[in-house]
Amino acid sequence: MQEGRVLSTREVNRDLLRSILDTPRWFWPVVTVLGLILLIAAIAVGIMVNRGLGVTGLNRPVAWGFFITNFVFWIGISHAGVMLSAILRLAKAEWRRPATRAAEVLTLFSLMTAMVMPIVHTGRPWRILYWVFPYDFARGIWPNIRTPLVWDPSAILTYLTSSTLFVAIALIPDFAVLRDHTTGIAHRVYSVLAMGWEGNARQWKLQIVAGVLLSALILPVFVSVHSIVSWDFGMAVAVKSWHSTVFAPYFVVGAVHSGVSAVAFALILLRWCYGWQDYIRHEHIDALGRLLIVVATGWFYFLVMEILFGMYGREADELMVRQTQFTYWPYNFWFILFVITTYFIPVALWLSRAWRRNLWIMSIACISVNVGMWLERFLIIVPGLINKQLFTFVWADYRPSIFEYIIIGSTFALVTMLMLLFSRVFPLVPLYDVKEGDVLKTQVQIGRRTVPATFRED
Amino acid sequence: MARRPILGLFDDANAAADAGDGLRRAGIPETDVDFLTDTPYPEGAFGEREEPHRLYIFPFIGALLGLTSGILLTSMTQVAYPIVTGGKPILSIPPMAVVCYEGTMLGAILFTVLGIIFESRLPKLKAGLYDTRITEGYVGVLVNTEEAQHNTVEGVFGQTGAVDVKRE
């Protein structure tokens, strides 16, 4: 699978540095609109902090709502970076090259956004400090430092640090290109960031070994993060529907499903915004579509098992949660919509090669997956909490308020804005990786056919 | 006699490889020659020397330090808050496992990154002889040798089709 023409180094530099060296006309207006959305969200958070969580739809027993749903959703999106970058790098999949950086950067920004959610959710964000740092017993507050909730920040911070370093190391050669193509303050900044990189054989060898070694090290962290997010639920004694034994792999595969879909959509947007048709080609989106069929089907298996195991135990509390999901309005509607948008619509579209290569249809499929995956997290969290208590008279429904809608909506603006700002100063497609792909590209004669091939070094 | 760098620029990787062969034939030691490119070529593409490194030691050291930090952090915190919860022991192993695991991986990754920077001999504070055309696709053959040999080197560069030769 090798489409597109071989590009000269000069063309690669010109095209992929376009987002940095020339500001497109649409850039600042779009950033301004996104900034305004964030400003509105900041006002909403301000009001919420001032008046308390009463302005949200959270109640007793539904103490986790949109914010925690959104937290899990963004953690899920963050799994795309490592999935594409590390697994495909280790598997030596050639088509990964233009997609890796955008995927890794999406990981960083979605993780950062995810981390904001529990802080907003506390309603009194400054009190996080009491929880994070050990404090005096004299306050009369005894933190449960053995709580599984401590695992979450440790895993997410490890993943965020690792992903940041993963991106930073791979950026060094590209900083050198930017250093050589800029003047003035930008030149000085990129010179510092390039750390004197000159591209000798030793530096390249270390760069390649680093890619493989860091990929191998970061993969276990990647698996651990969403497993641990699933244990946020699994370790909660009171909520009966959160104890499924398949929760960890179910969450990890679901995260990959939503994350890779998000990356595919982001790549389509980048191609459109920056005119990168020669780099983000139909073959790449096609390959992502094929990968997603496998991931989606794996995820669907875990979904069915999760429901089946839950029902098979015939525990009254668990059955009540399932009854809420399947029969009570509006959860039954959300459930049907969730299954259709996460699996049946996108997979039906991905089964056709022509549709996988149609960027509009791929965009619809990828957005559909993420609508569904957001609903999945909502349907895990809220129906479980509604029926959390033993007595029906303490059951309560959850109706999110306008504040929650605004804050949740703004997280999409935040990630988009961060990605755009990143693309303004750093290349979102790795230059050296693309150039390496062109160097290794060749053609071989087999019988009467000339077929594309790639030289590989083990 | 002082050793000084001389840089030959080639617009073709094969020509740069020929220059490498020519330099070897002219008696320039392999250790004095470096090939500067803007993309990773397969190892040995220019007939360059093999570059040994000790990167693989770094993650092990980091993992060990990370695991130790994880154990110390979790156990000391538990001991610092000696309240019995639900009849469970003060120092409980299960809640430590995840944090220790993450600490181990974080240590391994941090040290790997430090190892990459260290083994790549970065940061290079003093800029050496370089040409910005290298990031435009040219291949630079950098020879760090005695000044007396510069004419020989320049001759090899000329014979193999260097588009430019730079001296410090």
Residues A114-153 pLDDT 10s: 999 999 998 888 877 766 665 555 566 667 778 888 888 8
Chain-wide mean pLDDT for chain A? 89
Asked if A13 and B135 come within 8 Å (Cβ–Cβ), the reply is yes
B-contacting residues of A 132-151, CB under 8 Å?
134, 142-148, 150-151
A457·B109 Cβ contact <8 A: no
Where do runs of H (alpha helix) occur along A143-281?
151-180, 184-194, 201-234, 247-274
CA distance B56 to A214: 11
pLDDT tier for residue A446 given thresholds of 50, 70 and 90 = confident
- pLDDT at A8 (0 to 100): 82
pLDDT interval class at B85 (50, 70, 90)? confident
Identify each DSSP E strand in chain B by its residue range.
3-10, 33-36, 139-146, 164-167
Pseudo-torsion of CA A409, A411, A414, A419, nearest 10°? -110
Domains of chain A by start residue, with CATH? 9-454 (1.20.1630.10)
Contact B77, A145 (CB under 8 A): yes
pLDDT of residue B2: 80
pLDDT at A71 over 60: yes
Residue type, A101: R
Contact A232, A148 (CB under 8 A): yes
Q: Quick one: pLDDT at residue A426?
A: 93
> Does A92 have pLDDT greater than 90?
no
Is residue A62 predicted with pLDDT exceeding 80? yes
Report which residue type is found at B64.
L
Residue A113, C-beta contacts closer than 8 angstroms, at least 6 positions apart:
A74, A411, A414, A415
Mean pLDDT within B70-98? 88
- Token readout for B9 is 């620029």
pLDDT in tens, B39-57: 888 888 888 888 888 999 9
At residue A245, the pLDDT reads: 87
**Three-state SS at A454:** strand
For the segment B117-144, the average pLDDT, to the nearest whole number, is 90
- Residues B31 and A250: their CA atoms lie apart, in Å, by 53
Q: How far is A215 from chain B (nearest CA, A)?
A: 10
Mean pLDDT of A365-381: 95
**Mean pLDDT for the stretch of residues B134-155:** 91
Q: What are the residue ranges spanned by the domains of chain B?
A: 3-49+125-167, 57-119
Position B125 pLDDT exceeds 90: no
What pLDDT is attached to residue B34?
92
- The answer on pLDDT for A457 being more than 80 is no
pLDDT at A221 over 80: yes
pLDDT confidence of B6, banded at 50, 70, 90?
A: very high
pLDDT at A177 over 90: yes
pLDDT at A127: 75
Each residue of A258-298: pLDDT tens digit? 999 999 999 999 999 988 888 888 988 999 999 999 999 99
Q: What is the pLDDT of residues A320-370, one digit of tens each?
A: 889 999 999 899 999 999 999 999 999 999 999 999 999 999 999 999 999
Spelled out in words, what is the top-level CATH class assigned to the domain B3-49+125-167?
alpha beta
Task: For A175, name the nearest residue in chain B, comparing CA atoms only.
Answer: B135
Q: What is the mean pLDDT of residues A412-437?
A: 92
- Structure confidence at residue B1 (pLDDT): 63
Which residues in chain B are closer than 8 Å to A438, comparing Cβ atoms?
Answer: 39
Find, in chain B, the residue whose alpha carbon is nearest to that of A163.
B109
**Average pLDDT of B77-90?**
83
Per-residue confidence (pLDDT) for residue A96, from 0 to 100: 83
Residue A158, chain B, CB below 8 Å: the answer is: yes
A142 contacts in chain B (CB < 8 Å) = 81, 83
- Hey, are the CB atoms on B134 and A198 less than 8 Å from each other? yes
Distance CA(A160)–CA(A166), nearest Å, equals: 10
Confidence of residue B35 (pLDDT cuts 50, 70, 90): very high
